[in-house]
Chains A and B, each alone.
Chain A
Amino acid sequence: MRTRVPAAETSPIPSSAAATAALDVRARPLPPEEQRRRFLRSVATHSMLIVTSLMFLLPMVFVLTTSVMTDQQSLTRRIWPDPFVWSNFLDVFSRIDLWRYTLNTMLIATLSTFGIVLSCVPVAYALSRMQWRGRQAAFILVLATLMLPFQVTIVPLYVIFVRLDWINTLLPLIVPAFFGDAFSIFLLRQFFLTIPEEMSDAARVDGASEFQIMIRVIVPLAKPAIAAVALFNFLYNWNDFFGPLLYLIGNNRLWTLGLALSEFRTMHHVEWNLTMAASLLFMLPVIVLFFLAQRVFVEGVTLTGVKG
């Protein structure tokens, strides 16, 4: 329950007196019975939330404890590491070429994110801030592709990439990004629509072209939406497994972290401690990214759901 301090009554009392009156209202202690009730309610709320938090945290705790166990201990049922083997995190790097896989993943994620932003901003601009025949039809097409399962297009795309001799190169995972993505276009369009038309009109009066308006007026105002699109795409590509499995599996020099991790166990039998350490290292950038851009994340997710 939200408590409301009653607003100072609009009365002929001078403002300073009104302020003290308001202060008095706030300072007045609640009746002890009400205080007790609120305290109990707050205890109930927090214990409920703490129990739920533990359920969400527990898997991570187990991953963390296992990642610092010895190889033998990770194969027993004992839960608490004894001794703590922090060097597991270094051993992973010597066991597999983690740097290379990180670099590959980073390269794919960065370049395709760049491609998505570059290609989607103009399309979203045309769909939201320019008047032209067929605009509505084009938007419906974007919406329709939003619903399309990617499996429906994957066989012919694979055939095309085979013909182009792009299998076992990074190209199939990067080049398509430069041709737009329905979800990003949709998100950007929704945001562009909220920017008042007067902004563009003012620039138009000054003789700016549509391209200039987009670059100078709309893009700076739409930074939060562009950041959200970039973040989602980076994350999607960082986490993606299906694409790399299809296009890169035959060339282990180009493997991504996801591919390498799914193979890790088979290269070295089951070393659960190292597997968990590698998994943690794989999750780490995502966690860091989240804390750096928490607001963008939460607002971006909300934008997709509420406007969708």
Chain B
Amino acid sequence: MSPWIVGFLGFILYPMLATLYFSFTRYDLLSTPEWYGIQNYVYMFTKDPNFWVAVRNTLWIIVFGVPLSIGLSILTAWMLTKPRRGAKVYRTIFFLPSLAPPVAVALAFVFIFNPATGPINAVLTRLGWSDPPLWFFDAQWSKPAMLILTLWGIGGTMIIFLAGLLDVPQQLYEAADIEGATGWQKFRHVTLPTISPVIFFTLVTGVIYGFQFFTQAYVASITVSGSSTSQAATSVGAPNESLMFYSVYLWQQGWGNFRMGYASALAWMMFLVTMACTLILVKTSKRWVHYAGGGFR
């Protein structure tokens, strides 16, 4: 127990409180932190346009990404319950991409979606789309491209749903058959309530993960802007701040501009918001999450 206590105090509790303290200071790592009151927070909400850009981008990826990845995970998992043979092969194909290193995935997708040399637009033009999107090079299309990138890695979520679907008691389906339920009715009133705890779990982790989304956006940005790490601080978020997600902005402020105090304030704001989102989800979950033994409506 004791190493973990040390670990908890040293690596979690102390840093959390220290972050809170730093968030009320100006601190550039070199000089000692200088007390700044709530100015960091005031600046964040009233004077910093980039903060709101980062918030909007992050909300975008959460609002579209989380429901889509849950829906597609359920769909692919459901498909995997159907065949009598070969399910394992398909499962491997769907699951493997989720294990790939994010840096490699980001590079691969930037190349695949490259408007001039990438295969996607080559195919799209051949299909008759004369001016296909510029994807990662266009602020309008970079987030949809990023969304496709994240959806490619839903394998882990899918496996969890697959286990959930296989856990649905067979008798419930048989009972529904006897009552003459249609396929959709069976899904809505038997499958969905039974897997609702899994949906809840993926929803909460999806929101938390959305705020931490970093590597893919960072790599895609510095790749399309053609800059090296020493210039990364100015080019992250490219094109045109469209990939400036919350964690990327935090990194830029802290490690690009050495505004550690402001980065700490951003971190605490992120902590509060994710906590609030989780609490809201937990509160509403009582209405739609059914735990086994709780009976079905």
A40 → chain B, closest Cβ, in Å? 13
Instruction: Tell me whether chain B's interface is mostly helix, strand or loop, or mixed.
Output: helix
Q: Count chain A CB atoms within 10 A of each CB in B82, B208, B226 and give the residue with the most.
A: B82
Flag if A162 contacts B19 (CB, 8 Å).
Answer: no
CA distance A238 to B215 in the complex (A): 13
Binds A, one of B38-46, B87-95, B135-143: B87-95
Flag if B103 contacts A159 (CB, 8 Å).
Answer: no
Flag if B16 contacts A153 (CB, 8 Å).
Answer: yes
CA distance A74 to B111 in the complex (A): 10
Contact bitstring A191-233, B, C-beta under 8 A = 1, else 0:
0000000000000000000000000000000000000000000
Nearest A-chain residue to B89, judged by Cβ:
A53
Instruction: Name the B residues within 8 Å of A287 (CB-CB).
Output: 96, 99
- Would you call B150 an interface residue if the criterion is a C-beta within 8 Å of the partner chain's C-beta atoms? no
B31 → chain A, closest Cβ, in Å? 12
Q: Count chain B CB atoms within 10 A of each CB in A120, A150, A159 and give the residue with the most.
A: A159
Contact bitstring B90-115, A, C-beta under 8 A = 1, else 0:
11111111011111100111011010
Binds A, one of B4-12, B55-63, B185-193: B4-12
Binds B, one of A9-17, A26-34, A59-67, A84-92: A59-67
Instruction: Name the B residues within 8 Å of A282 (CB-CB).
Output: 101, 103-104
Contact bitstring A226-259, B, C-beta under 8 A = 1, else 0:
0000000001001101100110010000000110
- Would you call A94 an interface residue if the criterion is a C-beta within 8 Å of the partner chain's C-beta atoms? no
- Would you call B252 an interface residue if the criterion is a C-beta within 8 Å of the partner chain's C-beta atoms? no
Flag if A180 contacts B160 (CB, 8 Å).
Answer: no
- Would you call A119 an interface residue if the criterion is a C-beta within 8 Å of the partner chain's C-beta atoms? yes
Partner of B215, one of A150, A151, A160, A242: A242
- Residues of A148-207 whose CB lies within 8 A of B: 148-160, 162, 176, 178-180, 185
Instruction: Name the A residues within 8 Å of B108 (CB-CB).
Output: 59, 62-63, 276, 279
Flag if A155 contacts B96 (CB, 8 Å).
Answer: no
Query: Quick one: given A56-B94, A79-B122, A119-B3, are A263 and B229 in contact (CB under 8 Å)?
Result: yes
CA distance A77 to B156 in the complex (A): 33
- Would you call B117 an interface residue if the criterion is a C-beta within 8 Å of the partner chain's C-beta atoms? yes
B194 → chain A, closest Cβ, in Å? 12
Given pairs A74-B117, A147-B208, A152-B271, 8 additional interface contacts (CB within 8 A): A126-B1, A153-B11, A154-B254, A159-B29, A241-B218, A270-B226, A286-B100, A305-B201
Could you show 20 A-B contacts with beta carbons less than 8 Å apart?
A48-B79, A49-B82, A75-B117, A78-B122, A119-B3, A119-B7, A151-B250, A152-B270, A153-B16, A154-B254, A156-B18, A179-B10, A180-B8, A242-B251, A245-B229, A257-B103, A279-B107, A283-B104, A294-B92, A306-B164
Which B positions have Cβ atoms within 8 angstroms of A? 1, 3-4, 6-8, 10-12, 14-16, 18-19, 22, 29, 76, 79-80, 82-84, 86, 90-97, 99-104, 107-109, 111-112, 114, 116-119, 121-123, 152, 156-157, 159-164, 167, 170, 198, 201-202, 205, 208, 211-212, 214-215, 218-219, 222-223, 226-229, 247, 250-251, 254-255, 260, 263-264, 266-268, 270-271, 274-275, 278
